[in-house]
Amino acid sequence: MKKVYPDAKSALDGLLFDGMFIAAGGFGLCGIPELLIAAIRDAGTKNLTIASNNAGVDGFGLGVLLQTRQVRKMISSYVGENAEFMRQYLSGELELEFNPQGTLAERMRAGGAGIPGFYTKTGVGTVIADGKEVKSFDGQDYILERGIVSDLSIVKAWKADPSGNLVFRKTARNFNGPAATCGRVCVAEVEEIVPLGALDPDKIHVPGIYVHRLIAGPHEKRIEQRTVRKRESA
């Protein structure tokens, strides 16, 4: 099965449709599939539901899809750092399903593992529990959360081989692993594609069986919040 494609546009060819559900990896601007996001924007696919920890920032990451009004609903943990995200949500233009970060990651992981639902204490007694089944285990209440299975997963990795085995670098591992597994189709973008056998099998984070298409390309790696201090004089 040929998995390596020349660019993001060709890798997404035949996969996009209006109203689809996308799971996206990344955390803030760390490890985001920026090339695939830009290709989705250029394709004009609309009425999207996107599961992602957040929506990047204004003008970058998933924020570009909010600016073009291509997103109907976000399933996220955090809306900070993105003024357009907050504006659309508060004005009723964007539907938002809040999930605690650990719950969202586990919903993706569960979906990828074929688990339709799980019980968690996180959110019990809060608005997160509204409308959800509550069950008691050993005298403690837990709420039922559904596993996520998306039409498409888009993720960013550090290295891959032609079979689609992925290795993430440091904190870029974040939501990318769970997101990669929960899509019916997974498209990954990486910084480098290495020959088969070059990756240590014990250090592969996502096996290639989950990855259907693959691209390599340059990445901006923008810093979300740059914090500096004045240089001390000698």
**Confidence check: pLDDT of 83 > 80:** yes
Residue 17 to residue 151: CA distance in whole angstroms: 10
Is 3 within the bounds of a domain? no
Asked whether residue 224 is assigned to any structural domain, the reply reads no
- CATH number (domain holding residue 74): 3.40.1080.10
- Tens of pLDDT, residue by residue over 59-78, are 888 999 999 999 999 999 98
> What DSSP element (H or E) covers 88?
helix 83-90
Q: How many domains does the chain have?
A: 1
Determine contact, residues 62/42, Cβ cutoff 8 Å: no
pLDDT at 234: 59
**Is residue 232 a part of any domain in this protein?**
no
Q: What is the pLDDT of residues 12-71, one digit of tens each?
A: 999 999 999 999 999 888 899 999 999 999 999 999 999 999 888 888 889 999 999 999
pLDDT at res. 198: 97
Confirm whether 145 is domain-assigned: yes
Asked, for residue 194, whether it belongs to a domain, the answer is yes
Instruction: Band the pLDDT of 180: cuts 50, 70, 90.
Output: very high
Section 157-186 average pLDDT: 96
* Structural contact between residues 16 and 39, judged by C-beta atoms closer than 8 angstroms: no
What's the rounded Cα separation, in Å, for the pair 180 and 105?
Answer: 11
Residue 160 pLDDT grade (very low, low, confident, very high; cuts 50, 70, 90) = very high
pLDDT of residue 53: 93
- For residue 6, what are the contacts with CB-CB under 8 A and spacing of at least 6? 215
Domain contains 95: yes
Answer yes or no: is 228 within a domain. Answer: no
Residue 81 in any domain: the answer is: yes
Q: State which residues form the domain around 184.
A: 8-123+132-216
Q: Per-residue pLDDT tens for 100-130? A: 999 999 999 999 999 999 999 999 999 999 9
Chain mean position to CA 98: 15
Per-residue pLDDT, 59? 85
